Structure 1
Amino acid sequence: MSEANPASSRARPQRIVVLGIGNLLWADEGFGVRCIEALQQRYEFAPHVSLIDGGTQGLYLIQHVQEADALLIFDAIDYGLAPGTLKEVRDEEVPRFMGAKKMSLHQTGFQEVLSLALLTGKYPAQVLLIGCQPQELEDYGGSLRPIVKAAMQEALALGVAQLQRWGGAPQPRRSPLSTREAVTLDALALGAYEAQRPAPEQACRMGDARFFPQEG
């Protein structure tokens, strides 16, 4: 399910940056990074397209934003919608939406990145945020919830379509990724992460009760 704003017809950008942000260790907060991981595994792009795992780097991402003519962002965003709902936000509206209801410090940091890019006059001519409403964030060591993982397919389709319009020339990947090329470390790749993480019964994933006040 998605809510989308119509794309305007503009000149094709010379440099395209595709950025996934979020924290893989907190369940659905990893949505953006997982999208970048899947996009790189499935597609190849023109040389002027850069795929970046932005993680929680905040202001360290300013250079990538300032250098981009077009910026595509994947992230988990709390829009107050049903879990798994996708919403597209464009251009100058993106900083406002990312700051509307912050879920974590990474969003605070990235909103500042976008605001700084605007202030310096080096804001990308075209920006598209593909955000997904999370279901669960308070699960340290958890993975994407099924409804959010399922939403990735539509999110990737929306992203690939936009990259095609921008002239990013997405094509199905013909050669496997090398470890050096992959944006995600092997140990943190989705399959390995889900296979190796401990179950909630084996390891506390909701916080250590010793550090929380007791009820009653």
Structure 2
Amino acid sequence: MPYDAGRLVVGCGNVLFKDDGFGPMVIHALEDYFKENDIEKPEDTQFIDAGTGATHFIFSMPDDNWKKVIVVDVVEWNAEPGTLKIFSPYDMPKGKYENAHTWPVEEPLHDLV
């Protein structure tokens, strides 16, 4: 499946590791919501359950059509469990956002901006 929509909502994480599965669960909840309520998802928008492969599979394949990429994932930043926060690629906690292979994700996000 090509990732050529103008807006991507990318859920990252591993559902086998408790809260690390947050991103994929949000993607499935969004898909279910639109389906159950018989609502068309926003035009030119794609929901992607990226699992743990977002850095390699998504961020290494940017498309000229991409206008906005929303990444849903967990980040360690000393907040109460369940707290939601919107980060730009430039204000994410340094060294705290890496994938399972300890590849930093901030740099690929900067490349997409």
Same fold (TM over 0.5): yes
Q: Among the aligned pairs, what percent are the same residue?
A: 26
- Of Structure 1 and Structure 2, which has the larger fraction of its residues in helix? 1
Pairing 1:67-146 to 2, within 5 Å after superposition: 67-90=65-88, 92-93=89-90, 97=92, 99-102=94-97, 104-105=99-100, 108=103, 110-115=105-110, 118=111, 123-124=112-113
2:12 is equivalent to residue 21 of structure 1 = yes
The answer as to whether partners of 2:99 and 2:105 remain within 8 angstroms in 1 is no
Mark the structure with the bigger radius of gyration.
Answer: 1
Deviation of 1:38 (Å): 0.2
- For 1:4-55, what per-residue CA distance to the aligned partner results, in whole angstroms no more than 9, with x for missing partners? xxxxxxxxxx811111001111000000110011011102313300111111
Alignment RMSD (CA, Å): 2.6
Q: Calculate the TM-score normalised by the size of structure 2.
A: 0.73
Asked if residue 38 in structure 1 is aligned to residue 29 in structure 2, the reply is yes
Displacement after TM superposition at 1:97 (Å): 1.3
| Consecutive unaligned residues in structure 2, runs of 5 or more | 35-39
Q: Which runs of 5+ in 1 are unaligned?
A: 1-13, 125-216
Higher RCO (CA < 8 A, seq sep 6+) = 2
Shift of 1:65: 6.8
When normalised by structure 1's length, the TM-score is 0.41
* 1:22–1:106 Cα contact (<8 Å) kept: no
Distance in 2 between residues matched to 1:24 and 1:64, nearest whole Å? 25
Q: Give 1:151-166 correspondences, 5 Å limit.
A: none
The runs of at least 4 aligned residues of structure 1 exceeding 6 Å deviation read: none
Deviation at 1:107, TM superposition (A): 6.7
CA distance in 1, matches of 2:17, 2:27: 17
- Kindly tell me: are residues 65 and 37 of structure 1, through their superposed partners in 2, closer, same or farther at Cα, counting changes over 3 Å? farther
Query: Over residues 145-203 of structure 1, what are the superposed CA-to-partner deviations in whole Å (9 max), with x where a residue is unaligned?
Result: xxxxxxxxxxxxxxxxxxxxxxxxxxxxxxxxxxxxxxxxxxxxxxxxxxxxxxxxxxx
